[in-house]
Structure 1
């Protein structure tokens, strides 16, 4: 049986003991469709039928349940991206590189990179970490090359 996005998102909400509401399904659909992390203001501009407080509560609930994770852009704005299936309630496994493009300001989650082991001094017990890189994304590199030629 082929699972549509809606049934996949409904199953995700059910797994995390969240009610299957229209606004929650819309937010999941928007975040899953993006290849970059997305800020609350960006979501508000697209989801104009969901008020700011409701969207804030949805994002908070999703983050607490391990459905999405929060990453900050170069301006300090919180952006949200879908978590991997390894994330759990109150314990994220989003230990991947977050790439901030200095031109378009998009934040990319680069899950496919193998990161080195984190060797901390005795007495330190990590519960997670965030790794950022800044530079120019492929899209902006391509646009710059077109302008230069």
Structure 2
């Protein structure tokens, strides 16, 4: 999913998106980049228990608006957040890749290497984005079967 980044790179990322470099924002970025799956707000709350729920919600909201993260839903309809590709911009995401839900570990994975084919919509239709989900066993869970 995402590569390890240093605090300096997170600061540069916030600066690029004209966001203040707060400790809470830097910690959220660090946690999200460290994971190989998308994560929900409740999961982040349990790890970042010194950041209150409203602050975390606002951080996730602004990160999504700025094109730093994108929202993906799990099999239960819970919103999870994953780091965006480098091509995403403010209010314009380019995360048209397969989202995989593991039915065993419940992980939500962004499979960035699987791109969407060109989809020609009927005249008059304009899509802002596409989302495709697949479910089954992730690589780790498949090995355990």
TM-score after normalising by structure 2: 0.94
Q: Which blocks of at least 5 consecutive residues in structure 1 are unaligned?
A: 145-149
CA distance in 1, matches of 2:115, 2:98: 9
**1:1-52 CA-partner distances (Å, limit 9, x unpaired):** xxx6100000000011100000000000000011100000110111111111
Q: How does 1:52-91 map to 2 (within 5 A)?
A: 52-91=53-92
Kindly report structure 1 stretches of 4+ aligned residues shifted beyond 4 Å. none
Where do 5+ consecutive residues of structure 2 fail to align? Answer: none
Q: C-alpha displacement at 1:140, in angstroms?
A: 0.8
Partners of 2:121 and 2:104 in 1: CA distance: 34
SS of the aligned residue for 1:28 comes to: helix
The answer to which of 7-16 and 120-129 deviates more is 120-129
Correspondence list, 1:52-131, <5 A: 52-131=53-132
- 3-state SS in 2 of match to 1:117: coil
Q: What residue number does 2:42 align with?
A: 41
Q: What is the RMSD of the two structures over their aligned residues, measured on CA atoms?
A: 0.9
Larger radius of gyration: 1
Q: State the 1:114 CA deviation.
A: 3.1
Q: Distance in 1 between matches of 2:43 and 2:118?
A: 34
CA distance in 1, matches of 2:88, 2:10: 16
TM-score by length of 1: 0.92
Count of matched residue positions in the alignment of Structure 1 and Structure 2? 141
The offset of 1:122, in angstroms, is: 1.5
Q: Secondary structure at the match of 1:13?
A: helix
